[in-house]
Structure 1
């Protein structure tokens, strides 16, 4: 757990860290609650430091630094393809605000005339099949819901974006962060977009691959192209389904963890 401390003098800051060190050593089971209280329910004074606590060893605080005022941050939102098995599970189990948002969004989906057979909570906490999670009908609303919940959680710590940007489906969660869509509206856009994508007939396909451009280019075949360079370690391929499947098979054969 990350513990945040602040005081008006170096001596007071040292005394504060020592006091919490003593308390946590006596009550290690309360470390998470202490971290939340220090981060979200304490006044920010002019000298600040931090420590990482695991409940088993003495706190080692970083150097005291003066507050430099509020810095602006930008939020960047991802689209489908960045998901992984049980992403957000720990946040769901340990942060009530995050869990509440996910459950509220699940209520939105379950109130539909034809609700999905799965839940966002299930996708985040128990689903262990990456192929199922990777389908557009689940991946798009799950990625969007998780990012909406992250925005809500960060707001609990008074962290708000000065600007937002979204990649592909990430524009939906970005629109929520910008105040252009409500949580319900953003989720339903993502859900029905995923449903339509999963049912649309097509002789082609796309695939997110967790490798960089240079690693993937040697595998490309006629009918398959590099559609997007998402980052230095992620690209999107597109092309005819047959050749695309062959390319993906070759990549996974040589890099099974991809």
Structure 2
């Protein structure tokens, strides 16, 4: 599928190549190898690989839309999608976007094994009610829709939470990560990130 994607649009392939060049100073793996499924390429199961790859695909797909004459009036994104949105809007250069997504995701590896995330098929108010008893250990990480909420926090607390949801008939499933994005856990890498991202220069947005 990756090879088909890269070959389907010269605009997409060109923008992916630009993203690969922008990521290269900050990674020890090749974006093009990952997307083309080259044997021995870095695994998408690694947070420091999958997030930059998703960012590159989002940025490149936006370029395909623009090539077709579709110019955005606004952009929106969540998590690494925010970084892609900032690049598409013109608030970050491609190079600075690559720096942010690559170094941020690499720093997240320090949190591996300490937490996790769970998707809950309920609205955010219901989920906040379900979290009673786990204050300070689990919190709302993302509201993805009217009945789709992700919570994150301590690994053991999430095990307890999922068991409680199962017992009460609430659909809750673990997200396949071993870190707690969008939670207090991330504060542990705040100082490191501030240093890594100090060279980033925001710009006035076109969109």
TM-score range normalised by the length of the shorter chain: 0.5 to 0.7
Taking a change above 3 Å as real, the CA distance of residues 189 and 158 of structure 1, as seen in their structure-2 partners, is same
Residue 108 of structure 1 deviates from its aligned partner by 2.6
Q: Describe the SS at the equivalent of 1:207.
A: strand
User: 2:117 is matched with which residue: 168, 184, 207?
Assistant: 207
- For 2:68, the equivalent position in structure 1 comes to 157
In structure 2, relative to structure 1, the CA distance for the partners of 1:246 and 1:100 (3 Å cut) is: farther
Structure 1 Cα separation of the partners of residues 154 and 121 of structure 2: 21
Unaligned runs of 5+ in 1: 1-85
Q: Deviations over 1:7-37 (max 9, x none)?
A: xxxxxxxxxxxxxxxxxxxxxxxxxxxxxxx
Q: What residue number does 2:142 align with?
A: 228
Match of 2:105 among 187, 194, 210: 194
- Does the C-alpha gap of structure 1 residues 141 and 233 become closer, same or farther in structure 2, counting only changes over 3 Å? farther
User: Alpha-carbon deviations, 1:16-61, whole Å to 9, x = none?
Assistant: xxxxxxxxxxxxxxxxxxxxxxxxxxxxxxxxxxxxxxxxxxxxxx
User: Alpha-carbon deviation of 1:225?
Assistant: 3.9
Residues 106 and 120, structure 1, Cα contact 8 Å, conserved in 2: yes
1:144/1:170 contact within 8 Å kept: yes
Where does structure 2 lack aligned partners over 5 or more consecutive residues?
177-207
1:115 and 2:24 aligned: no
Q: Does the 8 Å contact 1:206/1:236 carry over to 2?
A: no
- How many residues align? The count is 162
Counterpart in the other structure of 1:93: 7
Instruction: Between the two structures, name the one with larger relative contact order (CA 8 Å, sep ≥ 6).
Output: 2
Cα gap change, 1:233/1:191 in structure 2, threshold over 3 Å: closer, same or farther? farther
* Maintained 8 Å contact 1:213/1:229: no
Q: Is residue 118–residue 174 contact of structure 2 (8 Å, CA) maintained in 1?
A: no
Name the CA distance, whole Å, in 1 between partners of 2:174 and 2:100: 34
Q: What SS does structure 1 have at the residue aligned with 2:103?
A: helix
Within 5 Å, which residues of 2 pair with 1:69-88? none
Alpha-carbon spacing, 1:248–1:192, altered in 2? closer, same or farther (3 Å)? farther
SS in 1 for 2:69: coil
Selected match of 1:126 from 24, 27, 37: 37
Q: Which residue of 2 aligns with 1:237?
A: 151
Between structures 1 and 2, the one with greater strand share: 1
Alpha carbons of structure 1 residues 254 and 154: separation in structure 2 relative to 1, 3 Å:
closer
Q: TM-score, normalised by structure 2?
A: 0.61
Match in the other structure for 1:167: 78
Match of 2:184 in 1: none
Shift of 1:120: 2.2
User: Which residue of structure 2 aligns with residue 177 of structure 1?
Assistant: 88
- Whole-angstrom CA distance in 2 between matches of 1:199 and 1:169: 18
For 1:168 and 1:255, the matched residues in 2 are separated by 20
